Amino acid sequence: MLDQFARDLNPSRGDEHHYHVSDLSGCDRATWARFNGLLREYDADTYRKFLDGHDIENRHLAAIARSRPDLLLGMRVALRLDFGFIEGKYVDEAYEPKPGEIIGHPDGVLEDAVIECKSTEFKTDRNNGWARIVPVTPKELQWHYAIQAATYALALDKPKAIVIIECRASGKITGISFNPKDYADEIKTRIRILLGIQKNSPKPGPRLHIDTINQRTGQSWLCKNCLIPKTECDLNRYVVPEVEGRERIEL
């Protein structure tokens, strides 16, 4: 009952055949697998974590809207690489991307910035009573967060990208603002690589940015959460629970 409810609140968006902004910081093999209909479904526990993340995002955006009436929410963006420049435009949900376009939904857009809201668990400092380490500078920002926010900011010609992150375990929060142009060259390279992935193209190698690798285990969190069948990628570390815990609750 509760597990199915979590699944029902995370329906398929129906755009699995499109290029997504999140693909720019993801694994190219996973993108290829999605195009070919090979991805499995997440378990209900993972869906619940997604819902918690959406709740945190909505709470922070509501707080920002109190003081910034220019905040735009629910926007859909189509972007492309045009003569070496990242160009974007607002489109409605019925819009079908043209060849070479990438689709995404920025969390919030201000007159001068794009805002992305994230939830995670900050690392702990074992030498300081296991206190949470709160990132405060752009260099401490996780790479995939920066790429996503910077891509939207460049596409919409905004001078700032802002990432707000809340630690689920401690409730601590941070906001990091940076110049999206610092990532422009890297994003352009990723766009070119991404657009080379097609449904019937050869399976690409796994692409795991160093920032996704756990220094202790040597494994990427992308592999830990991957939905590609193990027959298609031996790096897959995702384990579907044999019994989804909430189903054991009797009401």
Q: Express each pLDDT in 101-159 by its tens digit.
A: 999 999 999 999 999 999 999 988 888 888 999 999 999 999 999 999 999 999 999 99
Place of tokens 């070496």: 84
Domains in the chain, CATH or no CATH each: 2-206 (3.90.320)
Place of tokens 């995002």: 57
Q: Express each pLDDT in 190-202 by its tens digit.
A: 999 999 999 989 9
pLDDT at 242 over 80: no
- Average model confidence (pLDDT) across the chain: 90
In Å, what is the CA distance from 44 to each residue of 151, 203, 232? 30, 29, 23
Q: Express each pLDDT in 149-187 by its tens digit.
A: 999 999 999 999 999 999 999 999 999 999 999 999 999
- Chain centroid to CA 125: how far? 26
In Å, what is the CA distance from 240 to each residue of 13, 45, 216, 217? 22, 10, 23, 20
Q: Express each pLDDT in 19-71 by its tens digit.
A: 999 999 999 999 999 999 988 888 888 888 889 999 999 999 999 999 999 99
